[in-house]
Structure 1
Amino acid sequence: MSVPESVDLSQLSAPAGGSRRLTGHLARPEGPGPWPGVVVVHEALGVDDVMLRQAQRLARAGYLALLPDLFTEGGVGRCLVPTMRASSSGRGRAYQDITAARTFLAESPDCTGAVGIIGFCMGGAFALMSAGSGSFDAASANYGMLPRNLDETLAGACPVVASYGGRDRMLKGAAAKLDSALGRLGIVHDVKEYPQAGHAFLNDAEVGPRLLRPLFRVTGMGPHPEAAADAWQRIETFFDTHLKPPSTAR
Structure 2
Amino acid sequence: MVTLTRPDSFAPEDLALSRRAMLLAAGYAAFDIGANAQPISTPADGLVTGWETLPGGLPAFVARPAGKGRHKTVIVVNEVFGVHEWIKDVARRFARAGYVAIAPEFFFRGDPDKTLGTLKEFPAILAIVNKAGNEQVMGDVKTTLDWAAAQSFVDAKKFAITGFCWGGAVTWMAAARFPQLKAGGAWYGRIKGAPGAENRKWPLEIAGELKAPVLGLYGALDKGIPVADVAEMQAALKGTKSDIILYPNADHGFLADYRPSYNAEAGTDAWAKLLAHFKANGV
- TM-score computed with the length of structure 2 as normaliser: 0.70
Check whether the contact 2:48–2:66 (CA below 8 A) recurs between aligned residues.
Answer: no
Taking the TM superposition and a 5 Å limit, the aligned residue runs for 1:101-250 are 101-113=144-156, 114-135=158-179, 136-147=181-192, 150=203, 152-157=205-210, 158-173=212-227, 174-183=229-238, 186-206=239-259, 217=260, 222-244=261-283
- What letter is aligned with 2:277? F
Offset of 1:73 from its aligned partner? 2.5
Offset of 1:3 from its aligned partner? 6.7
Mapped partners of 1:109, 1:3: distance in 2: 14
Offset of 1:107 from its aligned partner? 2.1
Offset of 1:155 from its aligned partner? 2.4
Check whether the contact 1:5–1:27 (CA below 8 A) recurs between aligned residues.
Answer: yes
Query: Match for residue 55 of structure 1?
Result: 91
RMSD: 1.9
Mapped partners of 1:39, 1:63: distance in 2: 10
Q: 1:150 to 1:127 in 2, by over 3 A?
A: closer
Offset of 1:93 from its aligned partner? 1.4
Residues 128-183 of structure 1 deviation map (CA, whole Å, 9 limit, x = unaligned) = 11111133111110000115565651324111111001110110123322222111
Structure 1 counterpart SS, 2:149: helix
Query: Match for residue 17 of structure 1?
Result: none
Structure 1 counterpart SS, 2:216: strand
What are structure 2's unaligned runs of at least 5 residues?
Answer: 1-43, 117-124, 193-200
Offset of 1:29 from its aligned partner? 2.2
Aligned: 1:41 with 2:95: no
Mapped partners of 1:97, 1:31: distance in 2: 27
Percentage identity across aligned positions?
A: 30
Mapped partners of 2:184, 2:173: distance in 1: 10
Mapped partners of 2:236, 2:96: distance in 1: 32
Q: 2:129 aligns with which of 63, 74, 80?
A: 80
Structure 1 counterpart SS, 2:224: helix
Mapped partners of 1:131, 1:151: distance in 2: 13
Q: 1:30 to 1:179 in 2, by over 3 A?
A: farther
Mapped partners of 2:220, 2:230: distance in 1: 9
Query: Match for residue 5 of structure 2?
Result: none
Check whether the contact 1:168–1:199 (CA below 8 A) recurs between aligned residues.
Answer: yes
- What letter is aligned with 1:164? Y
- What letter is aligned with 1:195? P
- TM-score computed with the length of structure 1 as normaliser: 0.79
What are structure 1's unaligned runs of at least 5 residues?
Answer: 15-20, 207-216, 245-250
Offset of 1:240 from its aligned partner? 1.2
Residues 185-233 of structure 1 deviation map (CA, whole Å, 9 limit, x = unaligned) = x321231111111111111212xxxxxxxxxx4xxxx211110000000
Structure 2 counterpart SS, 1:171: coil
